[in-house]
Amino acid sequence: MSPPTDEIEESRAYLMRYARLQLRNKAWAEDAVAETLLAALQKPDAFAGRSNRKTWLVGILRNKIIDQIRLHARECRLGTDEDALDIEDEVFAADGHFSERPSDWGRPDSDLQQKQFLAILEACVERLPDQQGRVFLMKEWLELDGDSICKEIGIQPTNLWVLLHRARLRLRECLQQRWFDTAEAGA
Amino acid sequence: MRWMMSCREASRLTTEASYRALDPLERGLLVFHRSMCGNCRRFAAQMALIDHALRDWREQNSGGSGPR
């Protein structure tokens, strides 16, 4: 018995969200998701019967995403001009000090705040430049180690650190603007 | 490397510390810098909050708890 179409569609929707976030290319993401669903639907009983279907599907998706990264390693490596405006030069003055004093963020204190914070974090990850975003999520979401990331897309470790550092500085700027400054303005 | 590195350098080490174990000299220089620099203490606290949130986000979005 094949699973109901709406269950497949529901799965496709969240798988696409992850795949696009990680791959930053609609066509590659569609391929990864199609292959994931194809593999899953070869075991229709497993698809229908699993209580932890999402875990299972996301596990398959991770591997299909890595396949896509391998397939498109060259494109993943390129695109250096996207960061023409060096975030480090924005955050730090010429003498190496912070241009602006970092503010005290505190911590999101209620569950609701925590939930909103994670939503904004994800939006900020989505806004990272493509190359930085891919490498950052290979580390943070695919949980690959540094050596594997360098090998898969063919970059040097120093380059990896630069990309991860820029991604984190950008996330920090984005969270400052979209969470902390907004919260202060509303308080 | 000078004993007192710049905030720019300290921030790079702060990123690397999230992903690898710093060697003793690097760790010493970073601790020393932060002991003298309130900006870098705040920066480190901001980054710790981001790391914490990323862990929660990953748990929510890997469909379960992944290896760490």
ipTM of this predicted structure:
0.89
Per residue in A111-137, pLDDT (tens digit) is 888 888 999 999 999 999 999 999 999
Phi/psi region, residue B6 (left: phi>0; alpha: psi -120 to 50; beta: rest), is: beta
Q: Is the pLDDT at B67 greater than 50, yes or no? A: no
pTM, rounded to two decimals? 0.89
Using a 10 angstrom Cβ sphere, with 0-12 exposed, 13-18 middle and 19 or more buried, the burial of residue A27 is exposed
Mean pLDDT of all residues in chain B?
88
Specify the pLDDT at position B61.
78
* A22, A58, A65, A165: best to mutate for the B interface, most B CBs within 10 A: A165
pLDDT tens per residue, range A81-90: 455 578 999 9
Whether A43 shows a pLDDT value over 80: the answer reads: yes
What does the CA dihedral A148, A154, A159, A160 come to, rounded to 10 degrees?
A: -20
Torsion of the alpha carbons at A106, A180, A91 and B37, rounded to the nearest 10: -20
For residue B2, which amino acid is it?
R
- Does B53 contact A146 at a Cβ distance shorter than 8 Å? no
DSSP three-state, residue A98: strand
Q: Which residues pair with A98 in a beta bridge?
A: A92
